[in-house]
Structure 1
Amino acid sequence: MSSVTAPDLTALARSLDGAGEVREAGPEDVVDGVPAAVVARPTSVAAVSALLRTATGQGLVTVARGAGTALAWGCPPERVDLLLDTRGLDRLVEHEAGDLVVVAEAGLALRDLQAQVGRAGQELVADVPRERLEGGSTVGGALATGVSGVRRLQRLALRDLVLGTTVVLADGTIASSGGKVVKNVAGYDLAKLMTGAYGTLGVIVRAAFRLHPMRPARAYVLSTGPLAEVAERARAVVASQLAPAAVEIDRPAGSDEATLAVLLEGTDDAVAARAADAAALVGGAVGEEPAWWARLPGGEVLAKATATLTGVAGLLAAARAAEQAHAAGVALRGSAAGVLHAGITAPDAAALASVVAGLRAAAPSPGEGTVTVLSVPAALREGLDVWGPVGGLELMRAVKQRLDPGRHLAPGRFVGGI
């Protein structure tokens, strides 16, 4: 990477050619504790291209920001010379209701996108955590952080609904892949490559997604019990013919019990019948949407834990054991199919590292599960392996070298210092 130089605001502003604005950063312009020097808000793809070409030419490090609902996720960047605010790219480019396809710019808030396609009785099953949705989480931010929501059980994760993307590389190159119709999957890998890369490979500026028709009715079935029993009930529902839209588990910190919540969607009569069958299967009852539904668990530290379907019981047990061994709190919440979030409170950095190690022991390999620390206060970060074992790291570094050889895009934010 080039040596650190002061950003030339005049040149950066000129590069936008009137399509956006550039300003000095304020105290609120911080990425996980690292202050920015300059903030730019381009309003067109061409302006993003010209801006990045100019910034890279100046040797600047650029970090993209949407609504900022997950800027503390991942690792702090090495520095932030230019904070690229994507919210100037906030247009719904195209909505082909007949094809169940939408094309949106990266700075469009997901809640606004949902409102627009909802008028046609359709939805993008993004299901970002409710805190982020309410905070204005954007299309680009959701992709960059690789979110997966409660309804991924049937409709998969957001990355699987991407039909195509347009990204801008560090040198200003505009690259597109995929298409906007479901049958066209050419170039689909680029979209997956950018998803979950925390903006370290390119800046997502536009994406096309597959939509789903809204289902007219839904019902929740709730069941509470000992950890092992709830895990077994959850497995039974997932393996059943009930076709649940979501099967979620909530285990509060310090508790020997968990709550199972099953979501059924469809037509009124069918949902009612399936809900009754689900209640009988899990020994529960039909109820209201729980207050914790689609929300992140509380705690100083947020981690994402994955496991096989059979491994969820092990994660629940590991959370309780870690609490008892290290005077910590570990709330666990998420999909019974194996994608959960842990909210951890620990007395010190050493205890936190031990808690995370205990959870990783229950998810022993990238093939069987992982535990990634998404956000952690600086005081607890010392000695903590945020990412854990990662398969294919050398390949990831090679991709970074190919797409961003000068390490101008958010260096240090992703695994292995990428």
Structure 2
Amino acid sequence: MTVIEALADACGPDHVWEAGPADTVDGVPVGWVAEPRGADEVASVLRFAAAEGLSVVATGAGTKLDWGLPPTHADILLDVGRLTGVLDYDADAMTATVAAGTPLRALRAYLLREGRRLAVDVGSPAATLGGVLATNEAGPLRHRFGTPRDLVTGVRVALDEGSLEQTVDGYDLARHVCGSYGTLGVITEATVRLQPLPAARAWVVRPVSTPREVQQLTEAMVASPLEPVAIEADLPGGAGGRPAELAALFEGDRATATARAESAAKLLGGGAAVEQLPPAWWGRYPFDADDVALKVWGRPSELFAAVYALRDAAGLPVPVRGSVGLGVAHASLPATVSPERLDGMLTAARTVLIARGGGGCTLLRAPLELRELLTGHDPEPLPPAAARLKLALDPEDRLSPGRAPDLS
């Protein structure tokens, strides 16, 4: 039986094809594409791939296939976009079990009718739940509710040999698959913790001049009793363009949200204003599809120093945006940046953060030809426990091979 025949037997002939020029994973060509309908079909594809020694890379909407490291090779691109829907909703427990290919937009619409939400507001508008979990992608709400890893209570995962598992002895599978970039298994469904939909929201927005000012104002906000749900900063980096801003979100009933935002405006001063809608940049990444994207993280009190280091090493404007209350931000550079300058920026920011108590600056996304000229700036490695789990579950590295930065 040929590969295409076996995949058609698993998924149906209308949902498999030999890959074309457009079927790549971050520039790496793919052999075949399969679109399973359910978890059992996902397992069938993995079972066949294991028997034939073929590698598999899973995808949902494909919004983050160019994040992290490209795979070393990709025989089968497994598209889980047909695994959709809310499989179970428990109003009392405030949880929902959702198929991995479900777009966050669709999940948001479903939960809206129930007066609930999943507190994940990522910057990839078309993302699926599975893709968000696989990359542990988070937005402004992480300040109060944490990342997806903190909101998942259970998962069902198709492992490399084709079994479907919800637990693995000795490991918290749900937490480890979040941020593993598909290297531990293919998520087919997840149970997530929900929150009540807030009755009202209000933002306070203040213009800022420097990263240092952002740090000082953020510390004042965090130390206050106002309990913002999110604190974000936007530092465009250019001269003469739109101003840099610090913004905080408050939620609750109308009176509470407005009162806290008004108190925050008084605390921040400097032209801070209460708004009923977020600033246009809120919850969006500072980079576009063709830009080089960096991730910077460290102690919130020291993040400003890394931003200065990036700008000094770049010698050009560096747009930075992110959750400054938690010390996590993203930066954008043009794709034309030279490898030498990019290497200097990454090294400078990382050196500053390590010297100031820990953190890092990594290359989240870049054109393949640029990435190949750099060494030592890979994304965050798998935590040690997850790396051990990878070696136990997929010792031949068939699932998203090479996308885990460190298997030691």
Could you say which residue in structure 2 is the equivalent of 1:145?
A: 135
C-alpha separation in 2, matches of 1:338 and 1:113: 29
Q: Map residues 110-149 of structure 1 onto 2, 5 A cutoff.
A: 110-129=104-123, 132-133=124-125, 136-149=126-139
Q: 1:248 aligns with which of 225, 229, 232?
A: 232
Which amino acid in structure 2 is aligned with residue 119 of structure 1? R
Deviation (angstroms), 1:388: 6.4
SS of the residue 2:221 aligns to: helix
Distance change in 2, residues 1:398/1:127 (3 Å): same
2:166 is paired with a residue of what secondary structure? strand
User: For 1:172, which of 141, 162, 165 is the aligned residue?
Assistant: 162
Code of the aligned partner of 1:289: P
Give the distance between the partners of 1:36 and 1:289, measured in 2 at CA.
40
Residue-by-residue CA offset, 1:40-63 (whole Å, 9 max, x unaligned): 111111111111000111111100
**Structure 2 equivalent of residue 181 of structure 1:** none
Q: Deviations over 1:339-368 (max 9, x none)?
A: 111112363111111111122123217972
Change (3 A) 1:306 1:65: same
Asked whether 1:57 is paired with 2:40, we answer no
Query: Taking structure 2 as the reference length, what is the TM-score of the superposition?
Result: 0.91
Provide the rounded CA distance (Å) in 2 between the counterparts of 1:315 and 1:237.
21
- Is 1:311 matched with 2:329? no
Cα deviation 1:10-53 (Å, max 9, x = unaligned): 1222234x597321112221100012110111111111111100
1:138 counterpart letter in structure 2 = T
1:102 aligns with 2:90: no
State the partner residue of 1:30.
24
Contact residue 252 and residue 258 of structure 1 kept, 8 A: yes
Match of 1:362 among 352, 362, 382: 352
Cα deviation for residue 383 of structure 1 reads: 2.0
Q: Which moved more, 1:20-29 or 1:65-74?
A: 20-29
3-state DSSP of counterpart to 1:98: coil
Between Structure 1 and Structure 2, how many residues are aligned? Answer: 397
Is it true that 1:40 corresponds to 2:34 in the alignment?
Answer: yes
Contact residue 39 and residue 82 of structure 1 kept, 8 A: yes
Q: Distance in 1 between matches of 2:20 and 2:317?
A: 35
Three-state SS of the structure 2 residue aligned to 1:196 is coil
Structure 2 residue aligned with 1:11, among 6, 14, 23?
Answer: 6
SS at match of 1:410: coil
* Number of the residue aligned with 1:89: 83
Superposition RMSD on alpha carbons, in Å?
2.4
Would you say the 8 A contact 1:177–1:188 is kept in 2? yes
Which deviates further from its counterpart, 199-208 or 221-230?
221-230
Measured in 2, the distance between the counterparts of 1:166 and 1:210 equals 15
Matched, 1:271 2:257: yes
Which segments of 5 or more consecutive residues in structure 1 lack a partner in the other structure? 1-5, 179-185
Q: Structure 2 stretches of 5 or more lacking a match?
A: none
Residues 100-121 of structure 1, C-alpha deviations (whole Å, 9 max, x = no match): 1110010011110110011011
Instruction: State the AA in 1 paired with 2:161.
Output: D
How far did residue 254 of structure 1 move?
Answer: 3.4
**Greater alpha carbon shift after TM alignment, 370-379 vs 272-281:** 370-379
- Return closer, same or farther for 1:109/1:391 CA change in 2, 3 Å cut-off: closer
Contact 1:221 1:279 in 2 (8 A): yes
Q: In the alignment, which residue of structure 1 is the partner of 2:394?
A: 404
* TM-score normalised per structure 1: 0.89
Name the stretch that deviates more: 300-309 or 55-64.
300-309
Of residues 273, 288, 295 in structure 2, which corresponds to 1:285? 273
- Matched residue, 1:225: 208
Kindly indicate whether the alpha-carbon contact (under 8 Å) linking 1:164 and 1:187 is maintained by their aligned counterparts in 2. Answer: no
